[in-house]
Amino acid sequence: MCGIVGWTDFTRDLGREQATLQRMTDTMALRGPDDSGTWLGPHTALGHRRLSVIDLEGGTQPAVAAAGAHREPVVLVYSGEVYNFRELRTELMQRGHLFTTRSDTEVVLHAYLEWGASCVDRFNGMFAFAVWDASREELVLARDRIGVKPLYYFAYPGGILFASEPKGIFTHPLFRPVVDEESLPVLFNARLALPGETPLRGLRELRPGHVLRFSRSGGHEYPYWRLVSREHRDDLATTVATVRELMEDIVERQLVADVPRSAMLSGGLDSTIMSALAHRRLSDAGEGPLHTFAVEFAGDDTDFRPTELRPERDAPYARLASRYLGTRHHEVVLRTDDVLAALPTARRARDLPSLGQFDTSMHLLFKAIRGESTVALSGEAADEVFGGYPWYHDERLVRRDRFPWLGDAPRLADAFAPDLHRRVRPADAEHDRYLTLKAEVPRLPGEEGLNARMREVMYYSLKGPLAYLLDRKDRMSMAVGLEVRVPYCDHRLIEYVWNVPWDMKNADGRWKSLLRLAFADVLPQETLDRPKSGYPGTHDPAYNADVMRSIDKILSDPSSPLHGVFDPQRIDALTRTGSKTMTWLNSSHLLLPILEVDAWMRAYGVALA
């Protein structure tokens, strides 16, 4: 796992821009603490920071080869992992390619030399990379199918900037951070962002499963992968067996590393299955036991309050699962003071507005994991793929023509000042995004009723909330030099389960039936029976009171960049109605984006236009 940056410009000589490139590259230092490299040509400059995971001595970047009649450079900077790199290396060697390292970086470079930009079709993994092909005078950017690894870009006439994180672009003098009024609904609720959308003017994220080619004639972004709907012909027994076979192969592939590995274990169905498979594999190889980690908050014994999305505490289930599996378990217990002290670090890691305590606690969890390992497995995407969230099972929410996960929860944008609210029309902005995604859903001819509607609902989840979770996971883990791999994001698993009809996904009448049926023999009964519980948050009244005091100060501060954005009376009304819902823990959770957006705009000098 690494951090990459770059700049292509056909109107200037970038060979003289080492200082600018170095500043961009240095912003990725936390993503890649082990090595650094840059490459400059007349029209392209590439930078790389490395976190060594496979072939610790080899794999130096930027990686350079020669191609074309004049043997011009082909230069790669790459972040992530290609899990099938060994098979690809064998195939490429049979085609005459010679390798000098054991790294997947060299495989990616030679795959491009052999197949061009279509090499991405052959990769199984999480990745974002850039290739400068001098003979074609073309920059190629690519991102994995699900969007596990980030890649941002800013295009301008004659040129383009890109980076693994926005900070790599922020440091460039050509970029000015500006939020337009129409982007405010997304700024205050990132789960509304369409694929590729950010709240900043001109800043885009390369969409998952897409390639961008940039040359003198401009840029062209296009998909190389899409979900395809087709009839599912397997019966339930075959489907369950296939899910198990896929998961066993995926976890085995994602354990390949030359550094210590671990797993996040909340005691829920997804993480316990993943940990069971990883622990068995490492133990069979004589590398066990697996180290597992869970986060909890001091004071939860008295402060915890159940919500529909978080009905129970994780810690007791995580302990139980660890004892059952035989892992070496670590409990990361956080005090409110720990969370508040680490907040500035988490904000710097995020670049875009932070999620407050949810970012910070995850950052501290990953920091603890990094003390034991360099690679960790995490269970993101299982709920989106297999149907685990409560809203999937509430027919009233499912049938509504809107995003089910927002339900009847209050929207912070409803508290915009009256004139701003009339101009921005946040309800229309939300519905427009909903209709845009609805039009993209790959339909199955002849499918109707609940199966057809659930295909839509699951598509929305894969394109909205999942991107939000993967972004948080990437930022908080890479800020401590930890590579987090996500087995449930393997595209083969997603492609297969996508076409399993909802009545089979819900075969035993409960959430994530396919996973429960596939792994009933390796899990404790308590895990099998446990309802979905989301990533935990602190319920400490002192923390919530601190958040509310900070928000009150912002709303009354004429120097705040958000001055005039909100109507205090409407905020008061939201506070009274913003008690726990499926979406929010409490009022401080609902209003938290005010605090985080204010801090972000001040820190990065973001203007509102």
Q: Which helix (H) or strand (E) holds 173?
A: none
Rg (CA), the chain: 24
CA distance 110 to 92: 7
Report the 3 state secondary structure along 263-301: EECCCCHHHHHHHHHHHHHHHHCCCCCCEEEEEEECCHH
**Pairing state between β 63-67 and 44-50:** unpaired
Look up residue 224 and give its DSSP letter: S
Annotation says 489 is catalytic: no
**Residue 445: cis peptide before it, omega within 30 degrees of 0:** no
Distance, in Å, from the CA atom of 142 to the CA atom of 214, rounded to the nearest integer, reads 12
DSSP sequence for 226-265? ----------HHHHHHHHHHHHHHHHHHHT--SS-EEEE-
Q: Is there a contact between 234 and 501 (Cβ–Cβ < 8 Å)?
A: no
Number of H helices, E strands in the chain: 24, 19
DSSP string across 340-354: HHHHHHHHHHHSSPP
State the catalytic residue, choosing from 1, 2, 376, 597.
Answer: 2
Give the up-direction half-sphere exposure of residue 141: CA atoms within 13 A in the CB hemisphere. Answer: 31
What is the spatial distance between Cα 312 and Cα 372, in angstroms, rounded to a whole number? 28
Which one-letter amino acid corresponds to residue 528? Answer: L
Q: Residue 397: enclosing H or E segment and its boundaries?
A: helix 395-399
The token pair at 400 is 């509504």
| Residues with catalytic function | 2
